[in-house]
Structure 1
Amino acid sequence: MPRKKKSRKIGQIGTPLAPKAKRKPAATAPKRNKKTLGKPSGTRNNPEQTSTSNKQGKSIKDPRIGSKKPIPLIIDDAPKVKTAKPKFFSPAQELESIEQNERFGLLLEKLDADESLSKEERIFVNKLTARHQELCDLLGIANEDDSAADPSEDDLYAQFESIDINKFK
């Protein structure tokens, strides 16, 4: 009996395919454009020029450089309120207004009583005391504390005469 060689051709064993002309095209879904996320590759190294004709006065800004706005490192919970400074006609008026300031007086009393002040209160007191001293120097007003700290020679002599030597033996 003659032998048959194996072949890869589909013969009677498999189901025959329909001719290409009679086949129905496979239903294909309409193509959708994918959304692109982010910038295309290479934009970091080759920044895109937005417009070649720049207006006069404006320079080309590098898109890689971010904001120059300073970032606060310490967060303050209290919002800062700006108050308008009163304008004075003379240093004497300003000096009088500093001395009449109620908040300043209360804070000085707190300091005299050795109570602690907040950071904002300390800044306020230091600023007003510096301005008060500056105005006193400008007007030629001497502090009473300075005259008591520098006793005259007569006072020193009187103090020397009143010393009891027997205490030191």
Structure 2
Amino acid sequence: MPRKKKSRKIGQIGTPLAPKTKRKSVPAAPKRNKKTLGKASGSRNNPEQTSSSNQQKKALKDPRVGSKKPIPLIIDDKPKSKVAKPKYFSPAQELESIEQNERFGMLLEKLDADQTLSKEERAFVNRLTARHQELCELLGISNEEDQAADSSEDDLYAQFESIDINKFK
């Protein structure tokens, strides 16, 4: 048997590959489209514009989520609360409630004392006095009757003063 010299080169262990030029490319598996969940990033600030009919609808709709209620930047001292207007069954009940209104009475006393009223108070007094007059006309109540009663009392007092006491002695 012939002798072989030792060498450091390692022989071919497996089958050799064909050169790259002659290799057939293995077709890669076709890529799948992933199902997306939700909107793409940045879609809130850059909404898609697809067609003209959809553009009008999207232009009206605000893409932002949340409350659209305006926030007051200046805090008022007095909170504005809407007072529910009471409903009356008859004009007589409404007239009575106006006459029994404590705030209205206090403001009328202020006016009689020649004190100044704020715009809100003046508007309140004007509104209630106008409604009071309407209701009085509707019910047929007039101030002339009250004045006539007052004048008849004055007439009675004048008659009393004019009586000669000596006639009754």
**TM-score normalised by length of structure 2:** 0.45
In proportion to residue count, which structure has more helix? Answer: 2
**TM-score normalised by length of structure 1:** 0.45
Q: Which has the larger radius of gyration?
A: 2
